[in-house]
Structure 1
Amino acid sequence: MNDTYTPPQDPLDVLHLDHHLLVVNKPSGLLSVPGKGEHLADCLIARVQAAFPDALLIHRLDRDTSGVMVFALTPHAQRHIGLQFEKRQTKKTYVARVFGRITEKTGTVDLPLIVDWPNRPLQHVNFETGKEAITDWRVVKYEENATRVRLFPKTGRSHQLRVHMREIGHPILGDPFYATGAALNAPRLMLHAEELRLRHPEGGAGQRFRAPAPF
């Protein structure tokens, strides 16, 4: 993987703002949190806190994944929504373009994952020590040598969608970690967090935040 880090300089794309929550559309190529070393200091949380100093991290997206990310503006909101993630009460929808043609229209991948220590941050399937990881998927449409799918993770393991798609023989296009050969021929990782549903920390009303896929 190319080690030079040149994140996009797009202005902050705010999808929702109230006294408790800030929801933004993260661009592909930008870290969610700082990496190790000064050259990896530029990240979404730093940019968000420059504009909203009270913003608190709740969850992350991979550097190359774009889409909906929610931040808390109070410690109460951070705890409240953090628990929803922990208890799997949030509903996440991703859009991906994967290599090849998936013959079935829908399916579920249920393969336990754990970090591949010698090759970290890569993850791999391990039935002895892996943690439960479940992804539902549905075909949206067929393209030339690719399939557009919606992915519905039931768990939130690191790289879950990327490994699960690779394991069923259809790696996500442009994935620098898990795709090889022709599947690498894409301008970016073709994975986007399209929608997030959660309960508002003040009053508990259902909220739905959405950002259409840019590909």
Structure 2
Amino acid sequence: MNQFEFTVSEEQAQTRVDKLLTELMDDVSRSQIQLWIKEGHVTLNNESVKSNYKVEEADHLTVTIPEAVELEAVAEDIPLDVVYEDEDVIVINKPRGMVVHPAPGHPNGTLVNALLHHCSDLPGINGVIRPGIVHRIDKDTSGLLMVAKNDKAHESLVDQLKAKTTKRLYQTIVHGVIPHEHGTVDAPIGRDKRDRQSMAVTDDNGREAVTHFTVIETFEKYSYITCQLETGRTHQIRVHMKYIGHPVAGDPKYGPKKTLDIKGQALHASVLGFTHPRTGEEMVFEAPMPEDMKVLLKKLQDSR
């Protein structure tokens, strides 16, 4: 077990203990800190403490990080929309609402659980939790994902992502009227210091992130656009569109509460292209916009 110790300074006094530890410990969310406190892994002056306790100068905090428990991904007979499959790769059209891989809070019902049933011999290069997974799309984003079926294919597809040679095009409806046809958002993305479960444009801990967009159609209060990823940071399109003042419609994390009626963000990975790891053939796949997004778009078109 790893153990961290902190002594509260004068400037840090009167801060909630969960908030302070979130600020002090990189890449640990506030909810994770609160769970550790609840489970007794955090002590204040060698005694248990509550998350809402406001620390005082010279207080001594000890955080004992418990050993991570490896989740076991279990094969589940869940239907998959298979767009393409051969001995090396499989391309899936993931529905909105499906998590890609097991995690605390989502131990089953994920794409990985379904893949383990569909392909029993997926490689373990990414660990038991994410066999064959090369890249992810968010739970409430629908669309195309490529999955490697052996280690060589996995290595090739990962290298293509790093080299920025894959094609990933998304359809989305965003708030506001974008006044120009094309644009590029080149802004680094990292963990949001104010909310460790969110991402944000930041120079402090951000990594390169580039999104190109094209406006397809505009309406009174919304725009229908396509976004092409040059990089693949967590929540990239959602964060970048919020950053330029046009958050994705229906986005519960980065968008306004008053939005279009859709369960999850109106964001769909519609085009996926890569070089086949064995044959060298250039392959491009398309997935139609999901029905609920089609309905939203039709309503916007009819309201003009």
Normalised by the size of structure 2, how large is the TM-score? 0.65
Compute the displacement of 1:203 (Å). Answer: 2.0
2:289 alignment partner AA: A
> Which residue of structure 2 lines up, in the alignment, with residue 202 of structure 1?
278
Change (3 A) 1:180 1:23: same
Distance 2:78 2:249 in 1: 23
| Equivalent in 171, 174, 181 of residue 95 of structure 1 | 171
Distance 1:141 1:184 in 2: 16
Distance 1:10 1:191 in 2: 23
> Which residue of structure 2 lines up, in the alignment, with residue 120 of structure 1?
196
Correspondences of 1:38-77 after superposition (within 5 Å): 39-55=106-122, 56-77=132-153
Greater relative contact order (Cα < 8 A, sep 6+):
1
SS of equivalent to 2:100: coil
| 1:98-133 per-position Cα deviation (integer Å, ceiling 9, x unaligned) | 012111111011111101245233101112321111
| Equivalent in 226, 233, 242 of residue 150 of structure 1 | 226
Change (3 A) 1:10 1:101: farther
1:124 alignment partner AA: A
| 1:45-100 per-position Cα deviation (integer Å, ceiling 9, x unaligned) | 11111111123111111111100011111111011111111221111100000012
Contact 1:88 1:154 (C-alpha < 8 Å) held by counterparts: yes
Normalised by the size of structure 1, how large is the TM-score? 0.90
Q: Which has more radius of gyration?
A: 2
2:117 alignment partner AA: A
Percent of pairs with identical residues: 36
The runs of 5 or more residues in structure 1 that have no matched partner are: 1-8
Distance 2:259 2:231 in 1: 25
> Which residue of structure 1 lines up, in the alignment, with residue 86 of structure 2?
18
Distance 1:97 1:67 in 2: 15
Contact 1:72 1:78 (C-alpha < 8 Å) held by counterparts: yes
The runs of 5 or more residues in structure 2 that have no matched partner are: 1-76, 123-131, 294-304
Correspondences of 1:104-143 after superposition (within 5 Å): 104-143=180-219
Aligned residues: 206
CA RMSD of aligned residues (A): 1.7
2:174 alignment partner AA: V
